[in-house]
Structure 1
Amino acid sequence: MVSVTNVRAGRCHCGAVRFEVSLSDGFNSIRRCTCSYCRMRGAVVVMAEMGGVEILQGEEVLTTYRFHTGSVQHFFCSRCGIYTHHQRRSNQNLHAVNVACLDEVSPFDFLEVPVMDGVHHTSDTGKPPRRAGTLRFVPRA
């Protein structure tokens, strides 16, 4: 199981991009999303305040992708293609960080992960964020 330390090191798959992240609330903010991009990407994320992601190496190989409203950037390594983090659309003062990129952390360390309704995003509906369900990992006995 993961430790509760709020400052974590991370990297992309090939190691070209290395970063350090200060998690806003430890792993309490862990989640997935049902929007078209997150659904295809399949990442489990955790939150960091704006400025909480410090790129230590490889900033020049990070590239971005914008979709839908184009208001936020999704960052990934241009060499291996791994998504590292993105700016949140519903709160642009937060970054969502791919937990699979964090050293000694796996998405499978979390037995339950809340899944947020990104299809009916709060920025589109004007309604409060809605939980769509829960992703569960059941380890083999």
Structure 2
Amino acid sequence: MNKITTRLQGGCHCGAVRFSAVHQRHNDEPLVAHACNCSMCEKVGYLHLIIPAANFQLEQGEGDLSCYTFNSGVAKHYFCRHCGVKPFYIPRSNPDGYSLNVRCLDSVPPELEVEPFDGQNWEQNAAGLAHLSVAK
């Protein structure tokens, strides 16, 4: 089975934080981002593209990031301390990966599909995301 590799770049609004990433999938799988309706994501319009941690590289701005945690403290929400934008974070559902904010990508892949995710009922649904941070 062939793999499709999508190279991604993005960052925060002011440009202090920049990242690069690679998303890999089998050629029969769509490129999917998730629109979560939890209390955090719905308020900020975050669109999740989850990748394995090994496929993420912070290019610049480590010192410009602030981290916010809540509830279980597992998720690490990283914000630019200058402009307040959250370009990526380490999700509770995938602590071995990163969730990239599709809205912070320099260029959104045209084949990207957005699917809803019921984060309001996170405990019942989170296991459905666990496979996304496993290297293909």
Q: Common fold, TM-score beyond 0.5?
A: yes
Distance 1:65 1:99 in 2: 19
Normalized per residue, the structure richer in helix is: 2
Question: In the alignment, does 2:54 pair up with 1:51?
Answer: yes
Percent identity over paired residues: 33
Which of 63, 72, 76 lines up with 1:73 in the alignment? 76
Any gaps of 5 or more consecutive residues in structure 2? 130-136
More relative contact order, 1 or 2 (CA 8 Å, 6+ apart): 2
RMSD: 2.6
What TM-score, normalized to structure 1? 0.74
Whole-Å Cα distance in 2 between the matches of residues 59 and 45 of structure 1? Answer: 21
SS across alignment from 1:120: helix
Corresponding position: 1:10 with 2:13: no
Distance change >3 Å, CA 115–CA 126, structure 1 → 2: closer
Runs of 4+ in 1 over 3 A off after TM superposition: 24-27, 109-112, 125-130
Secondary structure of the residue aligned to 1:54 is strand
Deviation at 1:53, TM superposition (A): 1.8
- Ranges in structure 1 where 5+ consecutive residues have no aligned partner: 131-141
Give per-residue Cα distances to partners, 1:39-59, cap 9 Å, x unaligned: 111111212101322111111
